[in-house]
Amino acid sequence: MTTSRISGFYNMSIEERRAKLVEALALPTPPDLGAWTSGGISAEAADHMIENVVGMHSLPLGIALNFQVNGKDVLVPMTLEEPSVVAGASFMAKLARAGGGYQATTTDPLMIGQMQVINVTNLNEAKLKIYEKKAELLAEADTIDPILKKFGGGARDLEVRIFNDSPIGGFLVVHLIYDVRDAMGANAVNTACERLAPKIEAITGGKVHLRILSNLADRRIARARCTIPVNELAFDNFSGETVRDGIIAAYAFAAVDPYRAATHNKGIMNGVDSVVIATGNDWRAIEAGAHSYAVKNGEYTSLSTWGKDADGNLVGTLEMPMAVGIVGGATKVHPAAQAAVKLMGVKTASELAEIIVSVGLAQNMAALRALATEGIQRGHMSLHARQVAIAAGATGEMVEKVAAQMVVEKVVRIDRAEEILKSLSGK
């Protein structure tokens, strides 16, 4: 890739934007952006993905610009319906470039498979018996996916937990820790748990009831940080220090109040989910993992942190589970997802996770900056106004005219849009 900064991208036509993407990538075989024209999948293919298919439901796909992750420029596809998210993330990425962009890391791609063991006479004895057979059980789990094993994945560890009190009494939970490499890992882990279940039953004398992956992927963490020079934060009548302190104060609110943290983290997920969806990954799993991770210390809190360094610059961090893959599932079946992965140039699931967590941090900053300064509605309003204008029946150049008048009036409602449209069209 030459650069993720494309001047005037917002004002281009869709065809011009696609041409610019191909130009910026400088790849011998650029991604098939045509897959994004009609949703990227046929009815026949969809019929093989889920049940009772009657059609497709499309969402807008935009490109976040200016991102630099671990020193590399990247164009980021984002699929969502909410206005201002793509623009907000792109602008924050532009500010972050002045401080070196985003630095991101990931842990090993370890997923947890859970086996619930019920009807056990002596829980402590059964726990020790499982540990005595640990090596044998891991060796068995390692034989399940030879291809995954070939690429360095496979069973890594076995843990046993005792729950003495539950609505059904005491039971054991066996955790199989499994390295899934570049896959999301659900199928591999679930298969491994199914394979081990009879052996666990033989060892414990109990019954393996549930055996399934956990979406609290707290062994598979992605982290991102950025430093924004304080002078880059200044705009209009707001000094850099004012913006910085406002962002930090807004973060502090989310850090101590679950009611605020829920919306704060939703803003993070605006960025995260949109890239996850664009690449054909399971955004429900990512959401579940993120929010359960946010309460790991006993109270729901912010996934991100914001503060300042010794030089007074704004410093942000984000840490969260990130169970995404680039092999298997919709990522390999859906042409639009394939184009998204190719656009980013990622070769591993870890690279994808690092980009996603960086986008989450950028979007978080965009929301906090707006809240701490001019208010969330100013930037959001103009984009929302266009949607309302279209809903009122505006087409072509009328969309912008109706939207602009509603923004000036600070009244963005469909009834007012209808009145303005009627007035402008002379009807």
Rg (CA), the chain: 25
Quote the DSSP letter at residue 222: E
pLDDT category, 191, cuts 50, 70, 90? very high
Report the phi/psi class of residue 59: left, alpha or beta, with left for phi > 0 and alpha for psi in -120 to 50: beta
- Whether residue 380 is predicted with pLDDT greater than 70 in this model: the reply is no
Helix (H) or strand (E) holding 74: strand 72-79
Grouping H, G, I as helix, E, B as strand and the rest as coil, residue 169 is coil
**Tokens 């610059």 belong to which residue?**
313
- Note the pTM of the prediction, 2 decimals: 0.92
Cα dihedral 350, 272, 81, 379 sign = negative
- Whether residue 194 is predicted with pLDDT greater than 60 in this model: the reply is yes
- Whether residue 9 is predicted with pLDDT greater than 60 in this model: the reply is yes
Grouping H, G, I as helix, E, B as strand and the rest as coil, residue 113 is strand
Query: Catalytic residue numbers?
Result: 82, 266, 282, 380
Average pLDDT over residues 162-187: 97
* CA-based nearest residue to 264, from 372, 354, 353: 372
Sheet strands (E) in 133-281: 154-163, 171-179, 207-213, 221-228
CA atoms of 133 and 135, how far apart (whole Å): 6
* CA-based nearest residue to 389, from 415, 426, 352, 409: 415
Query: Between β-strands 171-179 and 102-106, what pairing exists: parallel, antiparallel or unpaired?
Result: unpaired
Q: Counting beta carbons within 10 angstroms of the beta carbon of residue 278, is it exposed (0 to 12), middle (13 to 18) or buried (19 or more)? A: buried
Average pLDDT over residues 355-372: 97
Paired tokens of 83: 């206005």
Helix (H) or strand (E) holding 289: helix 283-293
Average model confidence (pLDDT) across the chain: 94
Quote the DSSP letter at residue 51: S
* CA-based nearest residue to 322, from 193, 216, 225, 179: 216
Q: What is the pLDDT of residues 126-165, one digit of tens each?
A: 999 999 999 999 999 999 989 899 999 999 999 999 999 9
Torsion angle (degrees, nearest 10) of CA 82, 85, 87, 88 = 150
Looking at residue 108, its pLDDT comes to: 98
pLDDT category, 289, cuts 50, 70, 90? very high
CA atoms of 389 and 34, how far apart (whole Å): 28
Looking at residue 45, its pLDDT comes to: 85
Looking at residue 427, its pLDDT comes to: 64
Q: What is the pLDDT of residues 397-421, one digit of tens each?
A: 899 899 999 988 889 999 999 999 9
Report how far apart, in Å, the C-alpha atoms of 188 and of each of 207, 325, 333, 384, 386 are.
Answer: 22, 12, 18, 42, 45
pLDDT category, 36, cuts 50, 70, 90? confident
Report how far apart, in Å, the C-alpha atoms of 17 and of each of 9, 33, 76, 193, 323 are.
Answer: 6, 11, 13, 46, 31
Domains located in the chain, CATH noted: 9-94+220-367 (3.90.770.10), 110-213 (3.30.70.420), 378-425 (1.10.8)
Give the number of other CB atoms < 10 A from CB of residue 122: 12
pLDDT category, 286, cuts 50, 70, 90? very high
Average pLDDT over residues 276-303: 98
- Whether residue 175 is predicted with pLDDT greater than 70 in this model: the reply is yes
Helix spans in 133-239 (H): 134-142, 146-150, 186-204
- Please say whether the beta carbons of 395 and 409 come within 8 A: no
- Whether residue 15 is predicted with pLDDT greater than 70 in this model: the reply is yes
